[in-house]
Amino acid sequence: MQVISSIQAIKQSIKALIKENRSTIGFVPTMGALHEGHLSLVRQAKKENDTVVVSIFVNPLQFGKHEDFTRYPRTFGNDCNLLSQEGVDIVFNPSATEMYPDGFCTSVIPESLEDKLCGKSRPGHFRGVAVAVLKFFNLIQPDIAYFGQKDFQQTVVIKRTVSDLNVGVTIKVLPTIRDQHGLALSSRNAYLSETEKTDALCLYTALTRAKTLANMGTTDTGEILREMEKIITRCTSATIDYIAIVNPETLETVPKVQNGDVVALAVRMGKTRLIDNVTLILMIAFSCLIL
């Protein structure tokens, strides 16, 4: 497994791969502190591509002034061991100054998507995400890039950016990986105390309740959200940032649930902000499909 930290070196390696006729490149962008969710993306990339590249880059552009950039978990040695075991070909681990040298001033603005959901409390976050991901796409030239459904809004932003700018990469979104109790795996779970980890299970309980209500034919958004809020507010560690039911492409909130809408939430457990989501399937719509 090659570990590369310079832009020049990654460009040379990719050029060599193309010259060798390594026909497909799969790419998994990460910020490190890898867990089973990341590894599930890597395994899918291995199944579908000749070469797999994983980036490990804690991107300063997607952190706000008072967010956790300096204390974000960094476990590079362990991450490389895990990726080597999975048969990854290249790990790209650039520094911030390598990615954003003096004078860097270009931004990518997903205008209709960046100020919704997480964007309301994290201004500029998705601009930072889009810039980094597009730089990686330009450097690595992947055929397929893999993302997890847990970062739902991020996947919507990246899909739209790729479509709008005619970037030649297929975006694949794979299911959220959860622990045995339903908590979505996240690098930030390491911040949680044992009490907060227990309380955090209320997120999945609330999302499951939303799915159940939709499956039973409930389409009133307000009713579903009120039921979810009841569950979450019972947890002493929890402070709701938002709960919303949105169109899966525009992220606009919907008054009435339609098949395929997404219920997304962000909740602080103590000082740790967690996100999660599920897609709502209406049993009525499913029944119609069967008929």
Using one digit for the tens of pLDDT, what is the confidence trace for 90-119? 999 999 999 999 999 999 999 999 999 999
Q: Residue 199: pLDDT above 50?
A: yes
Instruction: Please give the share of the chain, as a percent, with pLDDT higher than 90.
Output: 93
38 is catalytic: yes
Could you give the CA distance from residue 150 to residue 56 in angstroms, rounded to a whole number?
18
pTM above 0.75, yes or no: yes
Average pLDDT, whole number, for the chain? 95
Residue 265 phi/psi, 5-degree rounding, is -150, 155
3-state secondary structure of 146: strand
At 136-173, the pLDDT tens digits run: 999 999 999 999 999 999 999 999 999 999 999 999 99
- What per-residue confidence (pLDDT) applies to 289? 45
What fold, for 2-174? Rossmann fold (3.40.50)
Q: How far, in Å, CA of 212 to CA of 195, rounded?
A: 27
Task: Say which residue the tokens 């996100």 belong to.
Answer: 275
What are the residue ranges spanned by the domains of the chain?
A: 2-174, 187-284
Which listed residue (38, 66, 125, 181) is catalytic?
38
For residue 287, what pLDDT is reported? 47
Which region among 16-30, 178-192, 255-269 has the lowest average model confidence (pLDDT)?
16-30
pLDDT at 250: 97
Residue 284 pLDDT class (50, 70, 90 cuts): low
61 secondary structure, DSSP code: G
Q: What percent of the chain has pLDDT over 70?
A: 97
Give all strands of the β-sheet with 272-279 in edge-to-edge order: 238-246, 262-269, 272-279
Mean pLDDT along residues 212-229: 96
Q: Nearest CA to 279 among 196, 178, 176? A: 176
Tell me which CATH code domain 187-284 carries.
Answer: 3.30.1300.10
Q: Note the pLDDT of residue 22.
A: 72
For residue 36, the tally of other CB atoms under 10 A from its CB is 12
